[in-house]
Amino acid sequence: MNSISSSSDSLAVPTVSELKKNKIPFHVAIIMDGNGRWALKRNLPRISGHRKGVIVLKNIVITCKELGIKYLTVYSFSSENWQRPRIEVKNLMVLFLDSIKRELEDLNKNGVRLKLIGQRETIPAKILKTFEYSEQKTKNNKELFLNIAFNYGSRQEIIDAVKKLYIAARNNFINIDNIDVKTFSKFLYTEDFPDPDLLIRTSGESRISNFMLWQIAYTELYFTKTLWPDFSKKHFLKAIYNFQRRSRRFGKL
C-alpha cells in the first residue's frame, strides 16, 4: 500500500491479505443509507434501490465471515422511517419478509446467528413472527452474529431500558446502587453484545440518525459518499483498512 491519505474516500483499496489479522474489528455496525437516491439516479422506483441493498448486504455478510468479523449490526428500518409515504413502507415490509424467508436457510448453513434489535411490541405481528422464527432457527450458530436493527430508535431503546430497569428494581431483582455501565447495557436491545468498534455510514450523510447512541461512545466513525447499493467488498475492505490505521485511546495516553 503506498497511496495513503487522510480522506476515507480517496484511500487505495487493500486486498484481504494486506489487512492486519490482529486488528480486525470485532463488531462492525452499518447505517445502510442511499438506496432511494441510487434508484432515483437511474430513473427507477425507490424500491429497486432497496432490493439492490439486500444483495449488497449479503455480499458484506460473506466478507465479514471471510475476515473473521464476529458481529455485524445493520440499520435496516428506523422508528422514524414509518413516517415515509405508505407505499414505500409497504414495499419495504414486503421486501423484509421476502428477504428473510429467502435467505434464512443459506444464513443458517453459513453459521450466521440472526437477532432483531428494535422495539418488538410495535412491530407488525407477521414481521415479528418471521424475525423471531429466524432467531430461534439460528440460535446455536456461532460464526457471525448478524443483528438487524428494525423499528429501531436509540432514544426509545434507552427509554425502554430505563423502564425495564425500574421494574427490575421494584421487584428487587436489581439494586439501584449497583447500576453501572455494564448493568445498564444489558437492558438495551443489544443486551450483552460488545460495543461496535467501527461504524460505517454510506451515502455522504455525516450523521447518526438515532442509531446506537449509547453503544457508539468510543466507536470509530467512517463516512463514505458511496451509496449503499454501490457499496462493494472493495469499499468495505477500504473501511477496514482505514480503521486499522487509527489510534484508539479510550481517553488514556
Catalytic residues: 33, 81
Q: Report if residue 197 touches Mg ion, rule: CB under 5 A.
A: no
Residues 138, 127: Cα–Cα separation, whole Å: 17
Stretch that binds Mg ion, among 26-34, 139-147, 212-220, 229-237 (CB under 5 A): 26-34
Q: Is 76 in the site for ligand IPE (CB under 6 A)?
A: yes
Sign, CA torsion 92/99/39/57:
positive
| Amino acid making up residue 121 | E
Could you tell me the smallest distance in angstroms from the CB atom of residue 134 to Mg ion?
A: 25
Q: Least distance to ligand IPE from the beta carbon of 120, Å?
A: 17
Name the residue whose CB lies closest to Mg ion.
Answer: 33
DSSP-derived pairing of the beta strands 27-31 and 112-117: unpaired
Task: Tell me the residue length of the chain.
Answer: 253
Supply 61's cell numbers.
455478510
Select from 103-111, 127-135, 181-189, 200-208 the region that touches ligand IPE (CB under 6 A). Answer: 200-208
In the sheet that holds 198-201, the strands lie side by side as 112-117, 144-152, 71-78, 27-31, 198-201, 220-223
For 67, the enclosing helix (H) or strand (E) is helix 46-67
Asked if 33 is part of the footprint of Mg ion (rule: CB under 5 A), the reply reads: yes
**223 interacts with ligand IPE by CB under 6 A:** no
Q: Decide if residue 203 touches ligand IPE (CB under 6 A).
A: yes
Count the site residues for ligand IPE by CB under 6 A: 17
- Identify the H or E element spanning 76: strand 71-78
- Cα 83 to Cα 25, 88, 100, 102, 191: the distances in Å are 34, 10, 23, 27, 27
Tell whether residue 205 is a contact of ligand IPE (CB under 6 A): yes
Query: Which C-beta is closer to ligand IPE: that of 34 or that of 187?
Result: 34
Four-residue CA torsion sign, 39, 44, 50, 54: negative
Q: Which does 78 bind (CB under 5 to 8 A by kind): ligand IPE, Mg ion, none?
A: ligand IPE
Burial 17-27 (b: 16+ CB within 10 A, else e): eebeeeebbeb
Number of residues counted as binding Mg ion (CB under 5 A): 1
**Partner touching 81 among Mg ion, ligand IPE, none, CB below 5 to 8 Å by kind:** ligand IPE
Q: Which is nearer to ligand IPE, 25 or 49 (CB)?
A: 49
Rule CB under 6 A: is residue 48 a binding residue for ligand IPE? no
Q: Distances from the Cα of 42 to the Cαs of 36, 224, 229, in angstroms? A: 10, 20, 12
Q: Which three cell numbers stand for residue 239?
A: 473501511
Question: Judged by CB, which is closer to Mg ion: 92, or 237?
Answer: 92
**Residue 108 interacts with ligand IPE (CB under 6 A)?**
no
Interaction site with Mg ion (CB under 5 A): 33
Interaction site with ligand IPE (CB under 6 A): 31-37, 75-78, 81, 92, 203, 205, 207, 209
